[in-house]
């Protein structure tokens, strides 16, 4: 029984989600559907990539991630599928899957075999007509190379990697979670967590748990996904710092043995 | 394993949804539940009918649609079930199912057999006490006429059909999808897609895909459900035209062979 | 096939929900997951307790409720599990489960056996690392006392019980449902439903169904969960009375045989 995990910007309660589930359940009646999110902001490819960072490898091995945030539907952007670390990913080649495709050992194929597509193929809804049918085939046991042709030039990832000099990482605020905690691209295990980080000319201290912070205090801690995260005890860092903080740079001292791939 | 699809205005996260699922899972532990929407605007029967247009026949054959948008609960509005094109529908006879009931070959029954109802029967929650128990019976294999008595006068549908003269359809904007695209009741295959449509004194051109439009341009295209749809490239037609556009008339030239049933 | 029901404040579409489901599906691939709510207001323990009042015993017997609204994660608040009336509950000992723990016959254990926890144990996400793994074990058949040590002093409940004098109950408005109906802690079967209740110096009449009320009229009726509920016909009592009504006292005459446990 394969797991198929859905990440879209269709909105909870959208007919489009039901139509994709209809395709999945008709093709593989025993598949297990997990709704990861349907509330990605419309066409927000970076938010999608960031959500996938936290969910891609959380579900059981062999899960097929069906990712449909697709502003370029109907253009010549490619449809792709990826196998990485035992998981499958199906979606548009517009960057939402770029960080996955860049993982060591990842294989990428171009979905160019119309025999797997739904007939008639619409120009506005490849989620239903291309991605869902292919996801069902992968969940049912087809190999990655059965459904497309290998490509080596997928769209680059969107989450960036911190730059560095001898002693310092310079990373970025990527976006908020639902509590207003700010996620970053700074890998916690490479950062010296005894020294404050620097964001917009503020020095922000590290804590191990929310409980160490004062109510309302801005702190940085190791998020549950292994990256540094900026938070406010019993509050929202996003609200405290304002939406313009997304994209801001962060400086922090690295541990001596750190290396960034 | 029957599929039961839920469409309600209870709100995602409502106790009422959980209570209905409890009834379904207790009666038919192996049924498959699909949450189509719980975010219909409270008591909005037309939004419900429009959502059903896009989802009713998308799920596997034999699916039971459990539809609970029921402002008249506790009055003498009837409870009904419908079989149409191999699918079942259970809900109040207040118009939400009227367009389904009007389909060729549809059978409608009045749910008047208390032996299928939950005891004690509340006056405020027929979703849990009448509709869910009956939906579970249909998913488990009962025939439509096992659960009620045939009626021939269901509440009329709410989506309307375009009026026409010799050369022109006059249809209506029915409502937005989650992207702000405006859905209409104009069947795409009967419209001359080489000529602009007319809405609020604007002429709006047809495109085949979003990519043909300029950023911000208002266009009409064939929606994935086969009806004309008004959209803005990389934007929201609902926002551009304002909420008062819902209900507005649309004129468009028909193809010569067109006919409306 | 055990049912595991999720109630959290993570937000629909949160990576945290997907991560918990990954733990559940990896440990018990055949479990049935029901999403009760992920839209509890962040850290709102009373809203959680109120939602649980309506859902706790609605699902099939043996259901494991996984409840993660946990402002004190990383402090010394205990992790607990409860068995009550044939259902299981797993979550933090911060009051969200206090009303359940106070039910007659309820057993409570402290989750103090690290062999059931996920490794490495984070300080910020016990939902994934403690509560989900234990919920999976209970769904798979472990006994309550297998996963922890009995405690007799769980955090008290949050919903309160009405006070009383010889003839009157004094209860409280607990919060709205998704329609703006106001739920209370007044048990309907102990109240004299022939006499109005008194709220903020208004006398509010009882009705049996919404249909008995005038459009816009404020009424009290027996909610589907057995408690008195304040409603407005075709409207929202919360909107009409304003958010400050939550927490307000309500006086109502009791029936002669009434008793409150």
B210 and chain A in contact, CB less than 8 A: yes
Residue A12 touches partner B, C-beta closer than 8 Å: yes
Contact B58 A18 (CB under 8 A): yes
Phi/psi at C49 (5° precision): -60, -40
C179 touches chain A (CB under 8 A): no
Give the 3-state secondary structure of residue C121: coil
* Number of cross-chain residue pairs from B and C with Cβ atoms under 8 Å apart: 83
Indicate the angle between helix axes A45-55 and C15-27, nearest 10 degrees.
30
Q: Show residues of chain C in contact with B8, CB under 8 Å.
A: none
Report the run of H or E that residue B77 belongs to, with start and end: none
Residue of C224, C225, C228, C237 for testing the chain B interface, max B β-carbons within 10 Å: C224
Task: Give A-chain residues touching C120 at CB under 8 angstroms.
Answer: none
Q: Is the pLDDT of residue C20 over 70?
A: yes
- On chain A, the residues whose CB falls within 8 A of the CB of B208 are 74, 123
Give the model's confidence band at C206: pLDDT under 50 very low, under 70 low, under 90 confident, else very high.
Answer: very high
Asked whether residue C258 carries a pLDDT value surpassing 80, the answer given is no
Q: Which of A105, A113, A102 is nearest to A156 (CA)?
A: A102
Mean pLDDT of chain C: 93
A214 and C CB contact within 8 Å: no
In this predicted structure, what is the pLDDT of residue C1? Answer: 62
Q: What mean pLDDT do residues B43-60 have?
A: 96
- What is the pLDDT confidence band of residue A56, given thresholds at 50, 70 and 90? very high
Contact A25 B32 (CB under 8 A): yes
Q: Which of B14, B43, B73 sits opposite C177 (nearest CB)?
A: B14
Q: What is the mean pLDDT of residues C25-40?
A: 96
Q: In this complex, do C58 and B19 lie within 8 Å of one another by their Cβ atoms?
A: yes
| Model pLDDT, residue A97 | 98
Q: Is A124 on the interface with B (CB under 8 A)?
A: yes
* Contact list, A238 vs chain C (CB under 8 Å): none
Q: pLDDT category, A259, cuts 50, 70, 90?
A: low
CA distance C58 to chain B (A): 5
Other CB atoms within 10 A of residue A246 CB? 17
- Asked if B140 reaches chain C (Cβ–Cβ under 8 Å), the answer is no
What sign results for the dihedral spanned by CA atoms C119, C120, C122, C123? Answer: positive
Tokens of A65: 């991630």
Q: Contact at 8 Å (CB) between A235 and A216?
A: yes
**CB of C120 less than 8 A from some CB of A:** no
The per-residue pLDDT for range B169-201, each reduced to its tens digit, is: 999 999 999 889 999 999 988 888 999 999 999
Three-class secondary structure of residue B101 per DSSP = helix
Residue numbers in B near C36 (CB within 8 A): 13, 15, 17-18
- Let me know: does A41 contact A114? Beta carbons within 8 Å: no
Of chain A, the end-to-end C-alpha distance in Å amounts to 35
Phi/psi for A24 (5° steps) reads -65, -45
Residue of B nearest to A32 (CA): B32
Percentage of chain A exceeding pLDDT 90: 80
Q: Are B19 and B118 in contact (CB under 8 A)?
A: no
Position B258 scores a pLDDT of 52
Report chain B's mean pLDDT, rounded to a whole number: 93
Cβ-defined contact of A59 to C21 (cutoff 8 Å):
yes
Say if residue C126's pLDDT is above 90: yes
Mean pLDDT of C214-223: 92
When CB atoms are compared, the residue of B3, B32, B210 closest to A73 is B210
Q: What percent of chain A has pLDDT over 70?
A: 97
Any residues with CB less than 8 A from the CB of C238 and at least 6 apart, and which? C176, C180, C181, C182, C245, C246
Q: B38 and A122: CB-CB below 8 Å? A: no
Q: Which residues of A touch B221 (CB under 8 A)?
A: 124
Is the peptide bond prior to B120 cis by the omega test (within 30 degrees of 0)?
Answer: yes
Q: Which residues contact A73 (CB under 8 A, 6 or more apart)?
A: A92, A123, A124, A125, A126, B209, B210
CA dihedral C98, C100, C102, C107 (to 10 degrees): -110
Q: In the beta sheet, which residues pair with residue B231?
A: B219
C interface mutation test: which of B4, B6, B8, B13 has the most C CBs within 10 A? Answer: B13
Instruction: Give the pLDDT confidence score for residue C223 in this predicted structure.
Output: 87
Q: Which residues of C91-110 are buried (b: 16+ CB within 10 A; e: fewer)?
A: bbbbbbbbbbbbeeebebbb
Question: Residue B161 and residue B103: Cα distance in Å, rounded?
Answer: 13
Q: How would residue B124 be classed by pLDDT, with cut points 50, 70 and 90? A: confident
Longest dimension (CA), chain C: 60
Task: Please give the average per-residue pLDDT across B68-92, as a whole number.
Answer: 95
Looking at the complex, does the CB of residue A38 fall below 8 Å from at least one CB of chain C?
A: yes
Task: Specify which residues A194 forms β-bridges with.
Answer: none
Given a cut of 70, whether residue B253 has pLDDT beyond it is: yes
Rounded to an integer, the average pLDDT of A190-208 is 92
pTM for the structure as a whole: 0.94
Using CB atoms within 10 Å of the CB of residue B143, give its burial: 0 to 12 exposed, 13 to 18 middle, 19+ buried: exposed
Give pLDDT tens digits for C51-76.
999 999 999 999 999 999 999 888 88
CB contact under 8 A, B16 and C224: yes
CB proximity C209 to B under 8 Å:
yes
- Of B175, B164, B156, which Cα lies nearest the Cα of B227? B175
Q: What is the mean pLDDT of residues C172-178?
A: 93
What pLDDT does B164 receive?
Answer: 87
Contact status of A74 with chain B (Cβ, < 8 Å): yes
Phi, psi (degrees; rounded to nearest 5) at C91:
175, -175
Chain C residues whose CB is inside 8 A of the B6 CB are none
CB-CB under 8 Å, A10 with B51: no
Residue with the bigger pLDDT between C65 and B168: it is C65
Q: What is the ipTM of this complex?
A: 0.93
Rounded Cα distance between B107 and A20, Å, is 27
| Residue B117 CB burial class (10 angstroms; 0-12, 13-18, ≥19) | middle
Least confident of A173-182, C155-164, C250-259: C250-259
Q: Does C21 touch chain A (CB under 8 A)?
A: yes
The reply to whether A36 touches chain C by the CB within 8 Å rule is yes
Q: Å from A123 to nearest chain B CA?
A: 6
CB proximity C142 to B under 8 Å: no
What band does B257 get if pLDDT is binned at 50, 70 and 90? low
- In this predicted structure, the answer to whether residue B1 has a pLDDT above a threshold of 80 is no
User: CA nearest C131: which of C172, C89, C164, C169?
Assistant: C89
Most C CBs within 10 Å: which of A3, A33, A57, A60, as the mutation test of the C interface? A60
Taking the C-alpha atoms of residue A95 and residue C177, their distance in angstroms, rounded to an integer, is: 40
The Cα A238–Cα A256 span in angstroms is 31
- All residues of chain B having their beta carbon less than 8 Å from the beta carbon of residue C51 are 13, 15
C-interface mutation test, from A17, A224, A227, most C Cβ less than 10 A away? A224
Whether residues A15 and B221 touch (CB distance < 8 A) is answered with no
CB–CB contact A209 C43 (8 Å): no
Q: Is A150 on the interface with B (CB under 8 A)?
A: no
Cβ of A209 and C123 within 8 Å? Answer: yes
**Residue B125 contacts C where some CB pair is shorter than 8 Å:** yes
Side-chain-side CA neighbours of residue C31 (13 Å): 31
Rounded CA gap, C108 and C97, in Å? 10
Chains touching C by CB (3 or more pairs below 8 Å): A, B
Strand pairing category for B249-253 and B218-222: unpaired
Residue of A nearest to B13 (CA): A12
What count of other Cβ atoms lies within 10 Å of the Cβ of residue B83? Answer: 20
CB contact under 8 A, A51 and C10: no
Q: What single DSSP character describes residue C157?
A: P
Residues 224-253 of B with CB under 8 A from A: 224-225, 234
């Amino acid at each position: 029984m394969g797991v198929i995990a859905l990440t879209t910007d269709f909105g909870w309660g959208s007919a489009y989600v039901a139509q994709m589930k209809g395709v999945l359940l008709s093709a593989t009646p025993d598949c297990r559907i997990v709704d990861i999110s349907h509330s990605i902001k419309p066409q927000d490819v970076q938010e999608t990539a960031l959500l996938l960072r936290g969910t891609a490898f959380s579900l059981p091995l062999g899960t097929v991630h069906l990712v449909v945030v697709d502003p370029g539907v109907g253009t010549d952007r490619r449809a792709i599928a990826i196998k990485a670390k035992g998981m499958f990913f199906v979606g548009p080649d517009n960057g939402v899957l770029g960080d996955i495709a860049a993982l060591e050992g990842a294989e990428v194929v171009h979905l160019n075999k119309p025999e797997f597509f739904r007939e008639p193929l619409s120009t506005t809804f490849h989620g239903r007509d291309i991605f869902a049918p292919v996801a069902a085939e992968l969940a049912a046991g087809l190999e990655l190379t059965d459904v497309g042709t290998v490509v080596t030039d997928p769209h680059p990832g969107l989450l960036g990697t911190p730059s560095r000099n001898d002693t310092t990482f310079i990373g970025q605020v990527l976006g908020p979670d639902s509590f207003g905690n700010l996620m970053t691209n700074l890998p916690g295990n490479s950062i010296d967590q005894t020294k404050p980080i620097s964001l917009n000319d503020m020095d922000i201290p590290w804590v191990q748990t929310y409980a160490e912070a004062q109510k309302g205090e801005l702190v940085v801690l190791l998020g549950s996904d292994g990256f540094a995260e900026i938070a406010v005890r019993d509050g929202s860092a996003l609200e405290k710092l304002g939406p313009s903080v997304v994209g801001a740079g962060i400086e922090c001292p690295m541990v001596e043995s750190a290396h960034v791939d």
